[in-house]
Amino acid sequence: MNQNRRLALKLAASSLALPGISACSAGASTTEANEQVSAAVARFAALPADTSCLIQADHPSSPWQIAHDADTPRFIGSAVKTFILAQYLKDIEDAKADPTQQLAVDDARRSLGSPILQQLSGTMAPTFVLEAMISHSDNTATDIALSEVSPSRVRKLIADAGLTSTRIPDSTRRLFSYIAGAPYGDDLGWAGMQQIEQGWTAGPMRSPLNDQETMMSSATDMVSWYRQALRGDPFKRPETLTEFKRIQNMADAIAHTVPSDIKAYGKGGSIDWDDFHCLSFPGQMRVAGAPVTFCFTINWTGPDEGVPSMTQQYIAAVASVLNEAALAITG
């Protein structure tokens, strides 16, 4: 199990195409460029997985969007951590959280998939906790931040944004506990996490894509969220949006999928659990001043041996769509 797989390799994209791609644009001059984006989306849709994506360009003179199965909820893994970041920054705005407070790092909230904090104990300032959560997808940092803002208030943020298919867990540890067979609501603790890491389960394993403890959303929801959040809609002060952007710019998926020298914000997610796998990358890039917001998600079942190849194909397909989207705007 590895919920923090890095996006690191690229391959040539497949030339296969599938039906079911929907596109709309304003302005005949963009037709040929949009055809290239549509072809790249079709290559993404042709990956041997359950695929969904949406890319939307808010170009001032000729906005357009291209989608494939964008309304279907899928498991998106750590991509939901964007909502925890936003709520924590809102709490700082509203003086409900102290940015100078030292947050405890200990076994009470330690979780699997924590490349920064798994071996550390002590205290840490919120800024560094949030950075670890986004830049390294550290699940201990996630559970520290989520326990401070509370899952219920993050869910209210999601509801207030009008997102109807997005679900977050009560904590990453409760998610791991539940899909490892524990009753709903149980937290098996750090000792239990260590046992799970060695292959133990509390009962029959469950799919990460479930209706209790999950990390789920649709491409439509995630594109809507990033369009709202990066306009600053959830925040009261410009400096809060600046901080949100600064941290969301640290996600490692950006460097491997977004064209060089284009500013982008986002947060990827992945999981390998039993035979279930996920890769997801929602976010936004700015091309010649125009926001291009996107979400690409695949869920599939199969042996772990196939994960490296699928990961490479996914990265190549996403990079191809984003490159063609950038060219569609810049010409």
| CA 127 – CA 121 distance, rounded (Å) | 17
Mean pLDDT of the chain: 91
- pLDDT at residue number 30: 52
| CA 72 – CA 295 distance, rounded (Å) | 12
- pLDDT at residue number 12: 27
pLDDT tier for residue 9 given thresholds of 50, 70 and 90:
very low
Half-sphere exposure of 118 (CA within 13 A, CB side): 15
For residue range 40-54, list pLDDT tens digits in order: 999 999 999 999 999
265 contacts 245 by C-beta, under 8 angstroms: yes
Kindly state the average pLDDT of the residues 138-142: 98
pLDDT tier for residue 61 given thresholds of 50, 70 and 90:
confident
- The residue whose two tokens read 């098996």 is 188
pLDDT tier for residue 23 given thresholds of 50, 70 and 90:
low
- pLDDT at residue number 28: 38
pLDDT over 60 (residue 203) = yes
pLDDT over 70 (residue 14) = no
Amino acid at 23: A
Strands (E), 76-217: 103-105, 122-124, 216-217
- pLDDT at residue number 10: 21
175 contacts 213 by C-beta, under 8 angstroms: yes
Kindly state the average pLDDT of the residues 308-320: 98
- pLDDT at residue number 8: 25
- pLDDT at residue number 34: 82
pLDDT over 50 (residue 17) = no
For residue range 93-133, list pLDDT tens digits in order: 999 999 999 999 999 999 999 999 999 999 999 999 999 99
pLDDT over 50 (residue 63) = yes
pLDDT tier for residue 4 given thresholds of 50, 70 and 90:
very low
DSSP state of 259: P
- pLDDT at residue number 331: 77
- pLDDT at residue number 16: 31
- pLDDT at residue number 26: 43
154 contacts 170 by C-beta, under 8 angstroms: no
pLDDT over 60 (residue 2) = no
Kindly state the average pLDDT of the residues 225-235: 98
- pLDDT at residue number 13: 27
54 contacts 67 by C-beta, under 8 angstroms: yes
- pLDDT at residue number 241: 98
Report the percent of the chain where pLDDT is more than 90: 88
For residue range 241-259, list pLDDT tens digits in order: 999 999 999 999 999 999 9
